[in-house]
Structure 1
Amino acid sequence: MLYSIGALTIDTQPFSVTDVQRSARADFAAKALIGAMPSREFMGEGDDTLTLSGQLLPYRLGGLTELEMAHGLRQSGQRLPVLRGDGKRLGWFVIDSISENHRDIMRDGVGFTVAHEISLVKVSPEGASTSVISTILSLFGAL
């Protein structure tokens, strides 16, 4: 396993990522001072974004089912735990956006290669336990 986003597992195949980018910020409030540079007051943690990108070969290895699952998680707006393959918990995230780029379109309208990018934004863990339970139950058709 390379990454886990809730119930979605990203591995070397059929659904893989080749690039990971993480960007984290801190928020500061600027306070104007007379005759000096503005003072900065730490306001807390800012946006923490994680971007996973890769390429699928749907006709050779598959991966479209997992991509559709990622779209379903994005549409639900659920808070999801994200784990890295070495077991490190990165925290709770929501899927902010997913982009797909189909190349060499086949007869059914699907690209022979599909480049994808999943952007996640870190959120607070409040209310996360109920969304995880509902995600697991929905996988088994209980909801």
Structure 2
Amino acid sequence: MLYMLGTLAVDTRPFSIDKFDRQASADIASKGLMGAFPGKEFGGEGDDEITLSGRLLPTKIGGLDELEIVHEMRRTGTRFPVQRGDGKRLGWFAITRVSEGHTEILRDGVGFVVEHSISMTRVQPDTGAGQQIISGLLSLFGAGR
């Protein structure tokens, strides 16, 4: 496993990524001082954004179903924990943008290669997340319908 986005596993197949970008900031307030350089004060943690990018080969190994799950997570504003493959928890995130590009379009209208990018921003943990994760796990095994 490369990453876990809530209950969605991002692995080397069928739904993979090959690039990880993270931009995090801190809020620094500037205070004007008479006759001196403005004072700076740490105001807290700023935005924390992650972008995962990769390529799918839907006709060879799949991945479009997982990409549709990502779109559904974006549409519903789902908040979920993100965990790296080595077990490091990166925090709670929500998807802000999903882009996909199909190349070498086949007869069914799907590209032989599908490049995708998932942009997420850090959010406060969802208070009802335990139930969502349990429901997600049950849906993986076809239970709880």
Instruction: Give the alignment's TM-score, normalised by structure 1.
Output: 0.90
Report deviation, 1:36: 2.2
Equivalent residue for 2:133? 132
Looking at structure 2, the residues matched to 33 and 130 of structure 1 have their Cα atoms a distance apart, in angstroms, of 51
2:42 counterpart of 1:45: no
Q: Which runs of 5+ in 2 are unaligned?
A: none
Displacement of 1:35 after TM fit?
Answer: 2.4
| Separation (CA, whole Å) in 2 of partners of 1:38 and 1:105 | 57
Equivalent pair of 2:52/2:117 in contact (CA under 8 Å): yes
Q: What is the deviation of 1:134?
A: 5.1
- 3-state SS in 2 of match to 1:59: coil
Distance 1:110 1:35 in 2: 64
1:4-35 alpha-carbon deviations (Å, 9 max, x no partner): 00111000011000000111111111112222
User: Which structure 1 residue ranges, 5 or more long, are not aligned?
Assistant: none
Q: Using the TM superposition, give the Cα deviation of residue 107 of structure 1 relative to its aligned residue in structure 2, in angstroms.
A: 1.5
* C-alpha contact 2:47 2:121 (8 A) present in aligned 1: yes
Aligned residues: 143
CA distance in 2, matches of 1:76, 1:136: 18
The farther-off stretch of 133-142 and 103-112 is 133-142
- Do the aligned partners of 2:80 and 2:126 also contact (CA within 8 Å) in 1? no
Runs of 4+ in 1 over 6 A off after TM superposition: none
Corresponding position of 1:15: 15
Aligned identity (percent) is 55
| Corresponding position of 2:25 | 25
What residue in structure 2 maps to residue 79 of structure 1? 79
Mapped contact 1:32–1:39 kept (Cα < 8 A): yes
- State the TM-score, normalizing by the size of structure 2: 0.89
Q: More deviation in 119-128 or 39-48?
A: 119-128
AA matched with 1:47: D
Between structures 1 and 2, the one with greater strand share: 1
Is contact 1:79-1:131 (8 Å) kept?
no
Equivalent residue, structure 2, for 1:68: 68
- Structure 1 residues 39 and 126, CA, compared in 2 at 3 Å: closer, same or farther? farther
